[in-house]
């Protein structure tokens, strides 16, 4: 679980982290606190996950 960029709740966003590798490391995420959804990208190199709709990047900072 990751922090929500919309309501700033800690570890409130759930996503399908078991199947995320099968889908280009992207999965739909949903915040259990504010109900906002987004596309979560999980970095295959460092494991960092973030919402690519709110961070406006589709690569991890470790790949830049």
Q: Can residue 20 be called a binding residue for Zn ion (CB under 5 A)?
A: no
Q: Can residue 14 be called a binding residue for Zn ion (CB under 5 A)?
A: no
Asked if residue 60 lies in contact with residue 48, where contact means CB atoms within 8 angstroms, the answer is yes
Look at phi and psi of residue 62 and say left if phi exceeds 0, alpha if psi is from -120 to 50, else beta: alpha
Asked if residue 13 lies in contact with residue 51, where contact means CB atoms within 8 angstroms, the answer is yes
Shortest distance in whole angstroms from residue 63 CB to Zn ion:
6
Shortest distance in whole angstroms from residue 2 CB to Zn ion:
10
Q: Can residue 2 be called a binding residue for Zn ion (CB under 5 A)?
A: no
Question: From the list 26, 43, 52, 53, which residue makes contact with Zn ion (rule: CB under 5 A)?
Answer: 43
């Amino acid at each position: 679980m990751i922090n929500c960029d919309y309501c700033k709740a800690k570890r409130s966003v759930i996503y399908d982290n078991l199947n995320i590798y099968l889908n280009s490391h992207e999965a739909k995420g949903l915040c259990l606190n504010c109900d906002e959804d987004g596309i979560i990208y999980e970095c295959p190199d460092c494991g960092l996950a973030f919402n690519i709709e709110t961070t406006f990047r589709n690569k991890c900072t470790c790949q830049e």
